[in-house]
């Protein structure tokens, strides 16, 4: 009877320890990162592991890009295996808060609104806003956002990119779109005259599609530091924050530029 009781206690203790381990990000052997895999050059989907691509969980595709390279550095310093979870933009924060992923590394800005729900690391990139338009078109050579008066402009759903469109006087603000591939198709077809983006994505788009041009402004959008910076999204109170910030602090500005330049060079053609 004592042996049976001891065995039962041992099994119960093992179960408790297992459950405790599953709930702790620090004890897990994997570092699960959520991203869209559709926002080149920050992140994209490819069919093999070329240029350091990482296999996407639950499928045959791979993810590549600037975010993936940053995630690899963090995972290495954490001593964990990197797992990429491909998630739609709107599903990233819920995936994090529910524990489906340990971090969001997806070109996400640490806005005050998002900070109410999740925590953020120190910044790992900073960029400027641009407009992507048709090369040789009506808006090819503009220098001010107000030159887009009457233009059909959009941006990605649930991003600050979409809110800044209101700064353009007389603009025709189109319905926000789910992702960048969709916006590129809309621009190619003439459904829109342009979309708001960040400089790396703009460079990427015009490099991948000869019909596109990135417009940089002399008189641009009014933005805040939090809008143009990019950071790692973490669950409130995550014990990974200090370790991740240590890794990010070890990546120099020169290295960050080099990683981004390589990502732009390797990014797949726009579709």
The CATH code for residues 129-226 is: 3.40.190.10
What pTM does this model have? 0.76
Total residues found in the chain within this entry: 271
Among 23-32, 122-131, 199-208, 237-246, which is the least confidently predicted range? 23-32
CA distance 110 to 84: 21
Q: Average pLDDT of 95-119?
A: 96
> May I ask the CATH class of domain 28-126+229-266?
alpha beta
Report residue 186 as tokens.
């809309």
Q: Average pLDDT of 110-134?
A: 95
**What is the structure's pLDDT at 22?**
41
**What is the structure's pLDDT at 3?**
39
Q: Average pLDDT of 88-115?
A: 96
On the question of pLDDT at 184 being above 70, the answer is: yes
Higher pLDDT, 208 or 75: 75
On the question of pLDDT at 8 being above 50, the answer is: no
User: What is the tens place of the pLDDT at every residue in 21-70?
Assistant: 444 345 689 999 999 999 999 999 999 999 999 999 999 999 999 999 99
β-bridge pairing 194-198 and 129-134: antiparallel
Residues forming CATH 3.40.190.10 domain(s) in the chain = 28-126+229-266, 129-226
**What is the structure's pLDDT at 110?**
94
Q: Average pLDDT of 6-23?
A: 41
Q: Average pLDDT of 153-177?
A: 96
Among 46-60, 101-115, 123-137, 198-212, which is the least confidently predicted range? 198-212
The per-residue pLDDT of the chain, averaged, comes to 89
CA distance 126 to 231: 9
**What is the structure's pLDDT at 64?**
98
């Amino acid at each position: 009877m004592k042996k049976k009781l001891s065995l039962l206690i041992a099994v119960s203790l093992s179960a408790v320890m297992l459950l405790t381990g599953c709930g702790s990000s620090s004890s897990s052997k994997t570092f699960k990162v959520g991203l869209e895999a559709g926002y080149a050059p920050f992140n994209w989907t490819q069919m093999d592991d070329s240029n350091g691509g990482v296999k996407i969980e639950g499928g045959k595709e791979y993810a590549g890009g600037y975010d993936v390279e940053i995630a690899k550095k963090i995972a290495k310093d954490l001593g964990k295996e990197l797992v990429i979870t491909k998630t739609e933009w709107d599903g990233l924060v819920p995936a994090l808060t529910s524990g489906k992923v340990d971090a969001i590394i997806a070109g996400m800005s640490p806005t005050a609104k998002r900070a109410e729900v999740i925590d953020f690391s120190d910044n790992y990139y900073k960029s400027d806003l641009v407009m992507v338009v048709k090369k040789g078109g009506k808006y090819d050579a503009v220098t001010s956002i107000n030159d887009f008066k009457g233009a059909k402009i959009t941006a990605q759903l649930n991003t600050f990119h979409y809110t800044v469109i209101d700064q353009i006087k007389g603009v025709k603000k189109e319905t926000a779109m789910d992702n960048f591939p969709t916006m590129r198709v809309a621009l190619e077809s003439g459904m829109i005259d342009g979309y708001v983006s960040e400089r790396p994505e703009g460079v990427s788009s015009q490099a991948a599609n000869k019909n596109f041009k990135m417009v940089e402004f002399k008189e641009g959008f009014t933005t805040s530091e939090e809008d143009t910076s990019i950071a790692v999204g973490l669950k409130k109170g995550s014990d990974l924050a200090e370790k991740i910030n240590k890794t990010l602090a070890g990546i120099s500005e020169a290295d960050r530029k080099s990683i981004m330049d390589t990502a732009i060079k390797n990014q797949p053609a726009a579709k």
